[in-house]
Structures are given as C-alpha cells and as structure tokens.
Amino acid sequence: MKKVVSASRRTELLAHYPDYLVRRLRKLGPAQIHTVVLWTKDPANLLRHEELRGVLREVGQVFLHWTVTGLAGSFLEPNVPPVSHQFALLDDIVSYLGDPRRLHWRYDPLISARRGDCAAGNVDLDLFSSLAERFAGAGVSVVHTSFATAYRKVVRRMAQAGVEMEDFAPDFRRSFLARMAACARGLGMELLTCCEPGYPRQRCIDGELLTTLHPSGEPCRTDRARGQRDLCGCTVSLDVGHYLPCPNQCLYCYARPAAASPRDGVRAAGESRGPE
C-alpha cells in the first residue's frame, strides 16, 4: 500500500521548514504517497509556497491538523501568528483541501499558567465556543483536545522561565471536557480527546477516514502504529520530521523546541539529522 506521511509531530515543518519538507516528499516519491498529514499552527505555505504546492499536487491527498488554541502571542505561544491571521486563511485553506472533512481543528493543549502577575490559558468555554463557531462555519466537523501533560522536561522549562502551570483535578477535567463536547455538538462538531487519561483511544491519524476521503477511495493501512503513547490510537504512518529548532517557542511543547532565526532554520533543515 502507498504510505501515509506525517509532517510532522516532531517539528513545525509546514510553517518553518517547507523546503526540507519538499525534499523529503520528493525523496519518498509523491506517487507512492497515499496521504500527507500536515500538523501546523500556520498553514499559509499551503497557499504561498509554490514548490510545496507543486509536490503536494502529485500525492493522493492532503489532510490538515490545524492547531488554534487562542493563546497566540502569550508567553505560552510567543511567536504563533494571531487568531486574526489564522482565520483570514480559513476559507482558502478549506477550498485548497477540497473537502472540509480533510481539516481537523486542534484546540490542544488545554492549559492554564501564570508568570508573576500575568496569566495565560485556554481552559475557557467562551473562548472555545468563539473559535468553534468560526471553524464550524467553514464546515469543519472535528476538534481534538487534551489537557497539557506535565512532563518533567516541560515543568523544568517552565520553571526556568518563571512560569507555573496549573494542575487540574480529574473531576474538573471530566466536567470541562463534557461541557466542551456539548458545545461542539451544538455546532455540529465532534470532540475527540488525544491521549487523555480515562478516555478511549482516539485517532488523529485514522487510516479508515483517510481511505474514505481519498479521491479514488484507495486504501491505506489501518492497523495501530507502534511507538506512540499508550493512549494513542493512530494508525500507521511515516513521520518525516526531525527534532529541529522551532521558532514558535511554545513553552509547553513536548518536542522541546529551541529558538531559531530563519537563517539558522534553513541551515538546520539542510543538515543530516538521522536516516532519510
């Protein structure tokens, strides 16, 4: 079967390393790719990067996980484009994908934190509802979410930045997720959790869905991927990213990004960092 390619759970390739992504896709052979699953906080290069658009025209389909948390510009997401920038792209992105079912919104992670007298967070039903209305209006019918995981490296990074992350009790988490689900249902959307303790395994990469959405109905693998977190139900894919520096500098990021100038990013993307 043709490959499902993930680009990438490890680094923001679409926004910051599009040339690297082009090289990886060409090396794999676009005609051998069933679906490219893109993960991003800024999909503008789907509209603007001509070489990337060219190689993506040669693959079976493009599926987009688009993260909009409402935290852009805060100390948690200092370099993520503002919501106004993101939503200015929404209709054109849906048109590019050809079907709104090929776009899943990620309101992920759910987090609340403080740095001195300054607070930032998105555990806020009104904020979720306002963003959900915009995505639902564009035909997007699925949203993924989870509470931020306090991995030791994340806690250490936040402590170094003078930030303290709030720890929510299990009962509150269940109650808030239930209210989010009800809000989403009212807008015609389905809420899926991502590796959330106490909830069933869900699929962010779902081979059955990708087969259904494929323009010619071509099948891909639907067996569960190995090497993911225990609660991850994602099906098999090939991740083409490496842990490259990410200019977004999201403080909670599990991939532990580092600051990088555009010049450094281009140089890093050209280096050999693991098997191609």
Confidence (pTM)? 0.92
Q: Is residue 54 one of the residues assigned to a domain?
A: yes
Q: Is residue 39 one of the residues assigned to a domain?
A: yes
Angle between helices 125-137 and 83-97 (to 10 degrees): 30
Tell me the β-bridge partners of 142.
190
- What total of structural domains would you count in the chain? 1
CATH code, domain carrying 224:
3.20.20
Residue written as token pair 């081979």: 207
Whether residue 143 contacts residue 191, with contact meaning beta carbons closer than 8 Å, is answered with: yes
Q: Is residue 131 one of the residues assigned to a domain?
A: yes
Q: Is residue 276 one of the residues assigned to a domain?
A: no
pLDDT digit string (tens) for the chain, length 276 residues: 999 999 999 999 999 999 999 999 999 999 999 999 999 999 999 999 999 999 999 999 999 999 999 999 999 999 999 999 999 999 999 999 999 999 999 999 999 999 999 999 999 999 999 999 999 999 999 999 999 999 899 999 999 999 999 999 999 999 999 999 999 999 999 999 999 999 999 999 999 999 999 999 999 999 999 988 888 999 999 999 988 899 999 999 988 643 333 333 333 333 322 222
Q: Is residue 56 one of the residues assigned to a domain?
A: yes
Nearest residue to 220 via CA among 33, 72, 64: 33
Domain that holds residue 116: 3-270
Q: Is residue 275 one of the residues assigned to a domain?
A: no
Nearest residue to 16 via CA among 243, 178, 213, 252: 243
Residue type at position 133: E
- Indicate the SS3 state at residue 199: coil
Nearest residue to 10 via CA among 105, 20, 1: 20
How many Å apart are CA 130 and CA 114, to the nearest integer?
Answer: 23
